[in-house]
């Protein structure tokens, strides 16, 4: 064991933060408590909404994110991970503030797409803010992975799933039709599989018991963090 530790810059949202922590613990090959990775979590739910900041001039989330970063640095974290895809738009600003490396969720997901599905077509399920940045599209294009994005109606349905569904702790059946409709529409347009590019989407998929081919960005970030710390990944991983 290398003794490296993980800092989770969380709260975006709290359930997504808990999901990432659970996946790291569940996927780490360990025979007892003492063989697990040390993890520091700052679950700062007061960080302003990232999509609002990107699209409509909402409050800048970077100061609150930087406050969390400083706390994780003080704990001694050897790497920083953020369970929020949209927040990665601000990652270059945060990385410039510290020598502690950030692990990039979008890059990890894109690498998994290329490795698992080759040249098949991915559909990106993400917030309006994430898609507006083009970061997923660029990461996939760099690996020659073709992709589709939701149309306006599908994006509206996804927004309801994320904000009115998972973040609001609504009953899963209240957003089943929205999410299944998005998957069906993108499949009809040529999607072979789906990139779960918002950290609330894997939670919705799990609660609804959906089984389409998918790449879960949260799972791929967990894998990247486990490897960074020098630990082995326990396979099979959580269902995706």
The pLDDT profile of the chain, 240 residues, written as one tens digit per residue, is 458 999 999 999 999 999 999 999 999 999 999 999 999 999 999 999 999 999 999 999 999 999 999 999 999 999 999 999 999 999 999 999 999 999 999 999 999 999 999 999 999 999 999 999 999 999 999 999 999 999 999 999 999 999 999 999 999 999 999 999 999 999 999 999 999 999 999 999 999 999 999 999 999 999 999 999 999 999 754 444
Which candidate in 79, 113, 198, 229 is catalytic?
198
Is-contact 148 122, C-beta < 8 A?
Answer: yes
Inside any domain, residue 195: yes
- CATH number of the domain enclosing 116: 3.40.50.1860
Is residue 129 domain-shared with residue 156, that is, in the same domain? yes
66 is in which domain, residue-wise? 5-104+219-228
Inside any domain, residue 233: no
In the numeric block, the tokens 């970030």 are attached to: 221
Is residue 37 domain-shared with residue 121, that is, in the same domain? no
Is residue 13 domain-shared with residue 115, that is, in the same domain? no
Is residue 88 domain-shared with residue 181, that is, in the same domain? no
Is residue 21 domain-shared with residue 58, that is, in the same domain? yes
pTM of the model: 0.94
Is residue 87 domain-shared with residue 123, that is, in the same domain? no
> Is-catalytic flag, 198?
yes
Inside any domain, residue 235: no
Inside any domain, residue 236: no
Which candidate in 32, 75, 79, 84 is catalytic?
84
Is residue 91 domain-shared with residue 33, that is, in the same domain? yes
Total tally of structural domains belonging to the chain: 2
Inside any domain, residue 234: no
Is residue 153 domain-shared with residue 211, that is, in the same domain? yes
Is residue 185 domain-shared with residue 209, that is, in the same domain? yes
């Amino acid at each position: 064991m290398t003794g490296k530790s993980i800092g989770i810059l969380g709260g975006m949202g709290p359930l997504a933060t808990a999901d990432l922590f659970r996946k790291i613990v569940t996927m780490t090959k360990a025979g007892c408590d003492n063989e697990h990775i040390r993890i520091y979590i700052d679950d700062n739910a007061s960080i302003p909404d990232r999509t609002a900041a990107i699209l409509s001039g909402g409050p800048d989330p970077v100061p609150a994110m930087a406050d969390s970063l400083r706390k994780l640095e003080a704990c001694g974290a050897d790497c920083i991970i953020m369970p929020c895809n949209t927040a990665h738009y601000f990652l270059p600003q945060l990385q410039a503030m510290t020598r502690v490396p950030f692990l990039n969720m979008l890059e990890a997901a894109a690498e998994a797409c290329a490795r698992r599905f080759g040249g098949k077509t991915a559909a990106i399920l993400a917030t309006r803010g994430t898609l507006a940045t083009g970061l997923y599209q660029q990461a996939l294009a760099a690996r020659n992975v073709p992709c589709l994005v939701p149309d306006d109606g599908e994006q509206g349905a996804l927004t309801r799933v994320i904000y009115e569904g998972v973040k609001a702790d609504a009953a899963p059946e209240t957003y089943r039709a929205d999410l299944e409709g998005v998957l069906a529409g993108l499949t009809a347009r040529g999607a072979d599989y789906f990139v779960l590019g918002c950290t609330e989407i894997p939670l919705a998929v799990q609660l609804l018991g959906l089984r389409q081919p998918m790449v879960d960005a949260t799972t791929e970030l967990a894998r990247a963090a486990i490897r960074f710390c020098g630990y082995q990944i326990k396979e099979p991983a959580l269902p995706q």
